[in-house]
Amino acid sequence: MTDAKMPLRAKVASSVSRTAAALSRAAGRGDGSVIGGWIGLKIDPDLLAHLSAGRAIALVSGTNGKTTTTRLTSAAVGVLGRVATNSFGANMPSGHTSALAKAGSTPYAVLEVDEHYLAQVLEATEPHVVALLNLSRDQLDRAKEVAMMAQLWRAALVRHTNVRVVANADDPMVVWAATPPGDPARGINPPHVTWFSAGQRWHDDSWVCPECGSTIQRSGDQWWCTGCALRRPEPQWVVEDEGVLDPTGAWHKVSLQLPGKVNLGNAATALAVAAEFGVRPVDAVSRLGIVTSVAGRYAQVDKDGRNIRLLLAKNPASWLEAFDMADNAPTLLSINARDPDGLDTSWLFDVDFAPLRGRQVLITGDRAYDLAVRLDVNDVPFQHVRTFDDAIRSVPPGRLEVIANYTAFQDIRAELDRVI
């Protein structure tokens, strides 16, 4: 809906939301997108719906990869025209509201959605397409939420059968959530769902079938339930070598500035979502290369002859992905356990650190000693360093990979901002 067509209350709310965001930015309190949206929604609780009307919207949700996939999807959909999108971290309704108010009238929007808010945001934005990436435990104390989240997603999607769904065929929880209730054998290829395969390294949250409780078996890429008809659907979009196969069987080379097979998978998802808007992969693929670092992730900084690359790993699944993205080079691991990270570090024992054997491994952070115990049990030799500067001095010139969890990542970013 353009500003002119919005109800008066929505217009006022939208304008106040923009002003509050600008004031918050001016006061040096982040980019203001959360507070601006929050105030706007207080004035008009339907503001997100008003701002969404008239736009073709894609929502991107899942435990991991949603920020990057949102960036890549925005770039791909940008072939068609201006795209509104939310800034990093502002992935709840207040952030969406602020993003749309700030962007003004755009024909398209691609919004990253916190997985807990998907039902609410579906309701408010009436999107054209929803991308479902994966569901895994975020922190150990939240492990039970995986099955519950799949249930919430499924219930929400059942109420919106007109919405196109682009979903990960490799994640049993996602397949189940995207498949309407009933006989999974009939439901496995619902016409409104497009499946992609991005590969999945983390399987520990999907050994039990969400439909019947039986064991899920795997062989190669395939998985199936031993007790019912739930199984891996045939994906239409597939990562192959350094590119993506589209549903017609055409292969597109994908040249990203982002590392790892994980990001090729995110690119496949972005192309699949853009295709739902009518974007041809051949037109979108070159635009994916413009995405560089995402909120500081994958950022590369040169200091004292070291090329330092930052990788964020916030939960067990994303640690495995980070090992895959990192070059075979000296690697600094940093772990904190402050509020945003979760206070319990026992999840370290869910992660197999064996891929780091043979690399020079350094550890630091508030909870470096927890990491030390884990690496010792895992037979990965390591060296403890007190500061980031010590780490830089301890490695030879060349690449230094840094893998850190949330607040440790922020600490290192702040330290790098001071030195460069």
Tell me the pairing of strands 193-197 and 83-85.
unpaired
228 is in an annotated binding site: yes
Nearer to Zn ion, 121 or 225 (CB): 225
What mask of x and - would describe binding to Zn ion in positions 173 to 212, judged by CB under 5 A? ------------------------------------x-xx
Task: Strand 383-384: give its sheet, edge to edge.
Answer: 300-303, 306-312, 398-404, 331-334, 361-364, 383-384
Query: Where are any strands of DSSP class E within 160-209?
Result: 164-168, 193-197
Consult the annotation and say whether 196 binds a ligand: no
| Contacts of Zn ion in 91-150 (CB under 5 A) | none
CA 236, CA 349: separation in Å to the nearest integer? 35
Shortest distance (Å) from residue 277 CB to Zn ion: 34
- Which of the residues 288 through 327 are near Zn ion (CB under 5 A)? none
**Number of residues forming the site for Zn ion (CB under 5 A):** 8
User: For residue 26, what is the DSSP state?
Assistant: H
Looking up tokens 């893998």, which residue turns up? 403
CB proximity list for 90: less than 8 A, separation 6 or greater:
31, 33, 34, 37, 96, 98, 99
| Neighbouring C-beta atoms of residue 286, cutoff 10 Å | 15
Part in contact with Zn ion (CB under 5 A); list of ranges 221-229, 306-314, 321-329, 347-355: 221-229
Q: How far is the CB of 212 from Zn ion (least distance, A)?
A: 3
Q: Locate tokens 């690449």: which residue?
A: 399
Least Cβ distance, residue 235 to Zn ion (angstroms)? 20
- Closest CB 396 distance from Zn ion, rounded Å: 52
Nearest CB to Zn ion, comparing residues 154 and 384: 154
Q: Which helix (H) or strand (E) holds 148?
A: helix 145-158
Contact of 401 with 298, CB cutoff 8 Å = no
How far is the C-alpha of 119 from the C-alpha of 115, rounded, in Å?
9
Count of CA atoms in the C-beta half-sphere (13 A) of 105: 8
Candidates 221, 241, 344, 389; catalytic one: 344
Q: How far is the CB of 188 from Zn ion (least distance, A)?
A: 12
d(CA 311, CA 325): 8
Specify the stretch interacting with Zn ion by CB under 5 A; choose among 192-200, 219-227, 247-255, 261-269.
219-227
**C-beta of 172 vs 365, nearer to Zn ion:** 172
Asked whether 228 and 211 are in contact (CB, 8 A), the reply is yes
Interface with Zn ion, residue 13, by CB under 5 A: no
Among 16, 51, 166, 230, binds Zn ion (CB under 5 A): 230
Q: Interface with Zn ion by CB under 5 A: which range of 73-81, 84-92, 111-119, 227-235? A: 227-235
The encoded tokens of residue 169 equal: 């065929």
Supply the DSSP symbol for 264: H
Which residue carries 């997108």 as its tokens? 33
- Our CB check for Zn ion shows the closer of 203 and 280 to be 203
| Of residues 223 and 319, the one with the C-beta less far from Zn ion | 223
Active-site residue flag, 344 = yes
Pick the stretch among 85-93, 152-160, 213-221, 346-354 that binds Zn ion (CB under 5 A): 213-221
Tokens 């769902």 found at: 193
Q: Is 212 marked as binding a ligand?
A: yes
Nearest approach, Cβ of 359 to Zn ion (angstroms)?
Answer: 40
Q: Which of 79, 80, 228, 329 binds Zn ion (CB under 5 A)?
A: 228
**Is there a binding annotation on residue 225?**
yes
Which of the 8 DSSP states describes residue 242? T
Q: Which is nearer to Zn ion, 81 or 181 (CB)?
A: 181
| Nearest partner of 181 among 160, 205, 211, 161, judged by Cα | 211
Q: Contact with Zn ion (CB under 5 A): which of 180, 227, 260, 355?
A: 227
- Tell the smallest beta-carbon distance from residue 150 to Zn ion (Å): 13
The whole-angstrom separation of Cα 28 and Cα 35 is 13
Q: Which is nearer to Zn ion, 226 or 292 (CB)?
A: 226
Q: Which token pair is 127?
A: 């999107």
Among 58, 225, 400, 408, binds Zn ion (CB under 5 A): 225
Contact criterion met (CB below 8 Å) for 303 and 412? no
Enumerate the active-site residues: 344
Provide the binding-site residues for Zn ion, judged by CB under 5 A: 209, 211-212, 214, 225, 227-228, 230
Binding site listing: 209, 212, 225, 228
Binding site listing for Zn(2+): 209, 212, 225, 228
